[in-house]
Amino acid sequence: MATLVTGATGFLGSHIARKLVERGERVRILLRKTSKTSNVEDINAERVYGDILDIESVREALKGCDILYHTAGLVSSKKKDHKMMEEINIKGTRNVLSTALEAGIKKAVYTSSVAAIGVDPDGGLANEKTPFNLEHLGIPYVNTKYYAEKEAMKLYRKGLPLVIVNPSVAIGPGDIYLVSNGLIVWQLKGRFPGYTDGGINIVDVSDVAEGHILAAERGRLGERYILGNVNLTIKECLDILESFTGLPAPKWKVPYFMVLAMGFVSERILGISTPSFIAHDVDSARASRLYWYFDSSKAVRDLGFPQTPLEKTVEKTLRWLKDFGYLDD
C-alpha cells in the first residue's frame, strides 16, 4: 500500500514526502501540472496529476493508499486571494477528506494551523482546548483554516480515522514562496522601519514534518496536536537575526494604528503585492499585534514531537536563503 501526500510541492509537504521516502515507504504525491516542482525533483515518489478541487482526480490518487497526509492549502494575505482560499482551504479539504473516508483510508493526518485555534486573550499560552476567538478580525486565512478544521471534524464523526496537527510558524530550507521565511528576508534587506507589538511561535519545518509522521503512528483519532516550539516577541525575533548576521535590528516601535494605516494604503490604495503574511497588507497588520503563543507539550508528551534548538534552525535557514539567492540585492 502507498501513502498519499497532497501539497507535496510546497514547503512543509515536500519535507514530509522526503522523510517518508527516506524511511523506505512507497509515496505518492498529488500535484497540478502547473505546480512548481523544484522542492520534489530529488524525491523518489510516484507523481499523480490532479487538483484537490477536482474530486475525481483525488479519488484516483487515493486508489491503493492506506495513509493520507493532507497538507495542501493556500496561505495568503492578499485580498485578491481571499475567494481562492475559501475554495482551496475549505472545499479542497472537504473533497480530500470525504474521498479518503469513501476510500477506506486507515489514517488521515490533516494539516491545520495554530490560526484555527486562536490566541489566549491575556497573551498567555494557547493550547488545543483554547476556544477560537478570532473570527471578528475578518482575516480570511485564519477563518478558512478554522472552518476547514470544522469540516474535517464532521468527517471524523462520520468515521474518518483522522488526526489533526496545528503547526505554528515553521522556518527552514525549502520555503520557495517565502510564506514563513519572508520575515527573515525582509528584515535582512532592511525593509522593516520598526517593530510592532505581538509575538509568534517558531518551529523547525523538519520537526513539523516529523510531527506529521508521528501523528500518523501515535496520534489519537479525533485529537489535535499543536506543533510548535519557541514563543518570541517580534522584537526578540529581529534581535536574534541581528545576533546571527550583524545587521542592526529596528529600534523603533511602530504604533498599531500606523501599521494598519500603512497596510491599507499599500494594499488597498497603491495595490502593492507582497509575499504572504509579511508586511504592507491589512490582514497582516490586524494579526501583528496579537501574541500567537502556543503550548506544544501535548505533542511532545504524546507523540514524541522533537524540539530542535532555535539557534540551529535559524542557522540552517539563513544558509539555505543565502545559497539559493534569496538574500541577494
Rounded Cα distance between 172 and 126, Å, is: 24
> Does a structural domain hold residue 145?
yes
Q: What is the pLDDT of residue 274?
A: 53
Per-residue confidence (pLDDT) for residue 276, from 0 to 100: 41
The DSSP element (H or E) to which 70 belongs, if any, is strand 65-70
- Give pLDDT, residue 282: 73
pLDDT tens per residue, range 2-28: 999 999 999 999 999 999 999 999 999
How do 27-31 and 107-111 pair as beta strands? unpaired
Give domain status of residue 299, yes or no: yes
* Coil, strand or helix at 20: helix
Cα angle 98-99-105, degrees, rounded to a multiple of 5: 100
pLDDT score recorded for residue 256? 63
The pLDDT of residue 214 is: 98
Name residue 319's amino acid.
R
| 95 is a domain residue | yes
pLDDT score for 151: 98
- Rounded Cα distance between 31 and 115, Å, is 25
The model's pTM is: 0.93
User: Cell digits for 31?
Assistant: 500535484
Place of cell 539563513: 318
Look at the block and give the residue holding cell 510546497: 10
Could you tell me which of 291, 273, 275 has the C-alpha nearest to residue 168? 291
Tell me, yes or no, whether 123 lies in a domain: yes
Task: Quote the pLDDT of residue 264.
Answer: 61
Q: Whole-angstrom Cα distance, residue 88 to residue 90?
A: 6
The CATH number for 39's domain is 3.40.50.720
And the C-alpha cell for 132?
A: 477560537
pLDDT of residue 278: 44
Residues 6+ apart with CB under 8 A from 201: 114, 168, 169, 228, 229, 230, 231, 232, 292, 293, 294, 296
Please check whether residue 154 lies inside any domain of the structure. yes
Instruction: Report how far residue 278's alpha carbon sits from residue 100's, in angstroms, rounded to the nearest whole number.
Output: 34
Distances (CA, A) of 160 to 95, 122, 165, 214, 219: 13, 35, 15, 18, 14
Residue 215 lies in a domain: yes
180-239 pLDDT tens trace: 898 888 888 876 777 788 999 999 999 999 999 999 999 999 999 999 999 999 999 999
Q: Is residue 149 part of a domain?
A: yes
Low-confidence ranges of the chain (pLDDT < 50): 275-279
- Does 6 map to a domain? yes
Q: Evaluate whether 114 touches 211 at the Cβ level (below 8 Å).
A: no
The domain containing residue 135 runs over which residues?
A: 2-174+202-229+293-306
* Number of folded domains that form the chain: 1
Q: Which three cell numbers stand for residue 282?
A: 491589512
